[in-house]
Each structure stands twice: as structure tokens, then as C-alpha cells.
Amino acid sequence: MGRLLTALSVLLVLHMASSYRLVCHMTNWAQYRPSSAKFTADDIDPFLCTHVIYALATINSFNQISPNEWNDEQQYIQLNHLKNVNPALKTLLSVGGSDNGLSPFIAMVANPEGRQAFIRSAISYLRTHNFDGLNLAWEYPGHNGSPQTDKERFTLLVTELSKAFEDDAKENRKTQLLLSANVASLRPTIDRAYEVNKIADPLDFLNVMTYDYHGHWEAATGHNSPLYRSSVDSGSHIHHNINSSISHWLALGAPAEKLLLGFATYGRTYRLTSGATGLGAPAKGPADAGPYTRTAGFWAYYEICDYTSSATAGWIPEQEVPYATYGSSWVGYDDMRSYSSKVEWMTGNNLGGAHVWTLDMDDFGGYFCAAGTYPLVNHLRMSMGFGPKPTTTPAPTTTRDPVADFCRGRPNGLYENVADKTTYFQCFQGNTYLHSCQPGLIYIDSCKCCDWP
């Protein structure tokens, strides 16, 4: 499926990587996907991400956190058991969704008593189920039946939660619970939903949802998560891109180190209506639903892998993202190359890290893309400068083997192995790690990637 990037494109020093967050979402509805696409907490690699967010719990009529699925509490146990394997892993519970089309936050934030009931419930529920924090998933204050006054009420909720978490930690001599929120990417929504300069301080980090910029609801093809605007964008669409969204958050006073850039593991699909196949081609509605996600309008990355094996793949240079077409189907998605471009942009803007939506739409089991388990998120992890996982061991040291000394004195990064082009070296803290390309590919140092000879 075209170029398979499996290497670092951005070389980051260790202290930068250690301050980064790689926050990964999992969804409790992915357990209902068929066959190899079924996903539960048992499928998570405990060393892949720094934080895992479990989506999604709700809020009941008593303003208390309530599970959504019959087996959520069993899933909590499985997820938090991963911290026995990786004690550095943090887990958060995401709360949100809708009830009859309305967010459960609307009724809860309407008065101080409702907010206090929710806060007490949150602390108790998170402590009982061994979570490290809470993630607010309200789409969005001041929208979809939420009155404009909810902009200020959201600020009150965030401020009161943060204070209560601080008090709980002091009173019970426990580590303070984390507080994060999934927040909008489109400028009009941001302006209507948030008092940015007031919510940024009490939140530990903000997951900016830098995806769903375009989709089958539009009459022409557009990319799900472009880095920059394109030449076909006009009107408000000139701001439907990562660069514009993050710039707006920063301009409104959000600290760069608290903003996490969203990385999608899915693409948005269209049904083409003419012979045109590029960006901005006429379209009407979505392509057929994927065989595993079974939802019109988007395909998981593992479904895209199968599609691109016979499709015509393309690259949008001005937006630094790929797309593919086959027949009348069109999909704009992310791959390892676009992830690398976004990490470079993210690093250049000193953001606090990345968040992934979602683990369960990457090829988590390695069944579909012939690129190992979690090919996208593993590539993201390496591109952000995180070191090898504990299961990876340095090359063996022998008096006759110069490989073990290869990285001595070299900067962290990737290097070619001149003795075997099907492998490459990763240098990290002076240690040498040997990696192999996928069968048939060789390492090319000019792009820091494995590609066809």
C-alpha cells in the first residue's frame, strides 16, 4: 500500500520525549465488531502509550457517573491490571455521550447542586475502580441543545472538579486525580463553547480533536485530518485544518504544553459522482460501510489497508496527507508518512504531545496490514522520540561484533545498516537496537523508512 514508513522522521532528545504525553483512547463498543476486529482491554499493549482513556461512561439522572455497557466494570479491571505490568501507565475514564440526542452534561451543570453531586460521584467512582483521572467528553457546551450559558458552566465544572481533586488528594494522602477534556477543533465551535483562558489552568491536558474536518456530509472530497489548508478550500473551510485549529487555541491563551494533537486511526469516505478523483472532486454521500466497523462514512485503518492493496493511492502535498480511490470510492486517511509530518509540526510548535482516536481502529492485532501490531501508534511512539519498549533488547555485545558499539557517541535516531539493508539501527541513549523491515522492503536512509527496492 505504497510507502511503508517504519522509522523516525524527527529526532528528539530524551528529555523532550520524557515530557511528552501519548494518550490513547479505547472504546467500549469495539467489543461488538466481528472476528479479528473485536477489541477489549486485553488487546492493549501496556507499554505503547503513556495514558489510556476508556470511553465511554455516562451521567445518570442523579448526576452520578454510570457505566454504559454490561461489562464495563470487568473491562475496568482488565485495563487497570495493565498497570501491574507497566506501573508508569496512567488510565482515565471518559464521561460523555448523549441521552435522546442531548448531552448528559446539560442537566448536570445547570446548578451547583448537580455539579457537586457529579464531582462527589466522580471521585468515588474513579477511586473505587482504580482510575488515575477523569476525561470530559462534552460535544459541546453551547451546542446541540446546550444553552449558551453552558460556556460559563463548563468553566465552573472544570474549576470545581480540579479543586475537589486537589482536596481529595490532600485529605486522603493519595496522588491527585488527573483531569482532561476532549475539545473542539473548529474555530466557531471553540469560540462558542469555551472560556479558553479560564479552563486551561485547571485541566491537566486538552485533547484537541483535530479530525473530522471533512466528510461525506459535504458535496466534494476533503481530507479527514489535513495538516494545512488546501488550494481548493474557500470560505470557512480555510480553517478546517490542524495548523489553523491549534493556532487558534494558542491565540486564545491555551498553553502549548497542555494541548495534545489528535491523531486519527481511521479515514473518511465519499462516493464520487464524476470522473474526477482528486481533492475537491464532486461526491455525494459515503462509500460502502467497512466490513468490520459497519458504519457509513468512515473506515478503520485496518480496513483501509485492505482497500489500498487494490486502490490507487495518492498524496496531497499541500496538506501532507494521503488518499486513495477505487471505482467510485474515495477515502482520505492517515498513514505513517502523514503521522511523521504531524509529529514534526507538533514538535516545532512545542505541544504537549499526542492523543490517538482510537487504539481499536489501528491494526492492533497485526492481522490486516502486514506491518506488525499497532503499526500506526507504534510508529507515532517512535516518531515522538520514545525509547524502545522493555521487551526490546540491545544488540548483543561481543568482542568480534561492532554492531553493539555502533551507537556509542551517536545522537538518538535511526541509521542504515550497510551490512544488511533489510535491517536498520535505532540509537537510544548510546544503546544499539536492530530492527527489521517488512518482507520485501529495504531501509532507505534519505527518508528514514523502509520502502520497496
* Active site amino acids: 139
Any residues with CB less than 8 A from the CB of 446 and at least 6 apart, and which?
Answer: none
Q: Distance between CA 93 and CA 87 in Å, rounded?
A: 18
Any residues with CB less than 8 A from the CB of 419 and at least 6 apart, and which?
Answer: none
| DSSP sequence for 364-399 | TTSSSSSS-SSHHHHHHHHHTT----TT--PPPPBT
- In terms of DSSP bridges, do strands 205-208 and 259-264 run parallel, antiparallel, or are they unpaired? parallel
Other beta carbons within 10 angstroms of residue 408's beta carbon come to 10
Q: What's the first-to-final CA gap in the chain, in angstroms?
A: 14
| CA distances (Å), origin 341, targets 10, 205, 344, 385 | 9, 22, 5, 14
> Locate cell 485495563: which residue?
79
> Is 328:287 a contact under the CB 8 Å cutoff?
yes
DSSP category for residue 407: T
> Is 22:354 a contact under the CB 8 Å cutoff?
yes
Q: Distance between CA 348 and CA 341 in Å, rounded?
A: 11
Cell of 86: 507497566
Length of the chain: 453
> Is 206:184 a contact under the CB 8 Å cutoff?
no
Q: Distance between CA 29 and CA 360 in Å, rounded?
A: 10
